[in-house]
Amino acid sequence: MKWALLSVWDKSGIVDLAQTLVENKYRIISSGGTGKALKEAGIDFIEVSEYTGSPEIMGGRVKTLHPRIHGGLLGRRDVDAQVMKDLDINPIDLVVVNLYPFEKMAGEHLDLDKLIEFIDIGGPAMIRAAAKNFKFVSVVVDPADYPKVKEAAAKGGFSYEERLALAKKVFARTAAYDAAISNYLSGLDREFPETYSFQFRNGRSLRYGENPHQKAAVYGDHGIAGQVPLQGKEMSYNNYLDVDAAVSLLREFDEPASVIVKHNNPCGVAVGKNGLEAYLAAREVDPVSAYGSIVAINTPVDTAIAEELCGTFVEVIIAPSYAPEAVEMMKKKPNMRVLVLPEKTETDAVRSIDGGVLVQRTTTPKEEWKVVSEREPTEQEIAAMRFAMKICKHTKSNAIIFANDHVALGIGAGQMNRVESAKIAVEKARSSLKGSAVASDAFLPFADTLEVAAAAGATALVQPGGSIRDQEVIDAANKLNVAMVFTGVRYFRH
C-alpha cells in the first residue's frame, strides 16, 4: 500500500485528486480544513493526530511536526528501512501541500500579530523534507500539477526525473516564501530591507541578449514579462525592453493613443479620434525610425489598423485586443510579434551593477505647475506642454520634446547635454515647429536650450526649474515672449 499526505490551504481540486488516489490504492493522511473537505466528500482518510498518536496542540500550530510524519518523508528506503520498521513508521510516497498565503495576506494591512499566523511552519518543513528525499518521495505544491499526479497514480508513481522536477519546484517555492516573509519583516521599520530578496518565475531562455554574443533569459508570469506572442517569432531581449518602454508611455493616455519605440526611446507619439488616426500620426513623426519598431496602441486593432501595420516592417505590435479578421490579415507578416496589452503590475525596479543591484520604487509625484514668465500660456499651449511632458518622462535623458496638443513634433533623446538634444529634436522634426510647446526632463542650466527652441518656433516651455540660473532663463523667456512653466519634478531616465 502507498501512503499520501494531503494538507492544503488552497483546496481547489483536492477532493477530486484524493478520489483518484483512493481508487489507486493510496492510504491518505490528512487533517484540519483539508480533512474536513475530504470527510464531507465521503473520502476515507486517517487524521494526522490519530496516525501520530499525538494530539494537535497550541491551536494547531503543532500537528505534523512529529517523527512518524517526518520519518516517513525522510526515510531512505534502501538505508533506513529497518529503523522505520522498528518504529512503525510508514513510508510516505506522496505529499500534496500548499502553504498559508503569507504573500497575499501581507497586502491586507493586518496587525502583525494576525499576520504572523499566516507564516506556515509545518507545510515548509514537510515539503522540504519530501523534496530532499525526492529519490523516494513525490511532492506537489502546485494545484496545476494535479493532472500529472492522477496520471502518475494510475501508472504506479512518478519517475525519478519527474520527482526531481517536482523537488525543484518545492525549493523555488520555499525560497520565494521565505523571501516574502524576510522582506516584509525587515521592511517594518525601514523603507527598504537590509537584505533584499526577490524571485521571478517562469524563466525562458532567449536566443541571445542585447547582442548575439550575450546570453539572456526572461523571468516573470505577469505584465510585459509574462507575455508570449499570439503569432510571430519568439520575443528577443531587446523586444522586451522596447515593449516595456512603449507600454509605460502608452499608459499616460486615456484617449486613443499610439506610441512607437525604437531602441528604448519613443520615435512617434500621437493621440487621435481613434486608434488608426493615432497610429498614422505617430508613424509620421519619424517614419524612418518607425521602420523595424515596436508599436503600442491602447485601442482594439481592427482591419484598418492591421492593414497599415502590414504595410511596413513592425517588430512587435501590442494592443488590448484584435479583431479576428485583423489577426488573419497579420498572418501575412509571420515574423511580426503580436502581443496583448496586459494589466499594469506594480514592482520595484531592479538594475544590476558591478557587485550588486540598485532598487527603485516609484510613486506618482505631485507636479505643481507654476507660470514663471511674464506671459501666461494659452489653453492650447498648456495642453501642448502637458502632452510633451508625458513623452518627456519616458525618453532617455537628456530629453527635449517638441509637441502640439496631440502629436510629438520633434524628439531629442539621450544626449550628454540638453542643448544638443534640442538641436536634434529640431533637426528631426518633419512638421513646422511654429507655435509648438517644448518639455525638458530636467531644469535648463542655461538659456541656450530655450533660445534654440524659440528660434525653431516654440512659444511655450515646461521644465522642472531649480537651477541656480533660473532667473537668467526666465529673463530670456520674457525677452523671447515664451510662456514658461516650472513643475518642480525632474524626470531623469538613465
Catalytic residues: 132, 263
DSSP-based three-state secondary structure for 428? helix
Answer whether 92's CB lies under 8 Å from 29's CB: yes
CA 437 to chain centre: 34
265 bridge partner residues: 262
Do 403 and 439 meet the contact criterion of CB atoms below 8 Å apart?
Answer: yes
- C-alpha span between 408 and 436 (Å, rounded): 10
At 440 the three-state DSSP class reads: strand
The phi, psi pair for 57, rounded to 5°, reads: -130, 165
Per-residue cell: 97: 501541500
Please give the helix or strand (H or E) that residue 262 lies within, else none: strand 257-262
Q: Which class for 169: exposed (0-12), middle (13-18), buried (19 or more C-beta within 10 A)?
A: middle
CB neighbours of 478 closer than 8 A, spacing ≥ 6? 373, 374, 375
Mapped onto helix, strand or coil, the DSSP state of residue 182 is helix
Q: What angle do CA 42, 43, 49 make, to 5 degrees?
A: 115
Sequence-distant contacts of 233-236: CB under 8 A, at least 24 apart:
233/335, 233/337, 234/206, 234/207, 235/206, 235/316, 235/337, 236/206, 236/207, 236/208
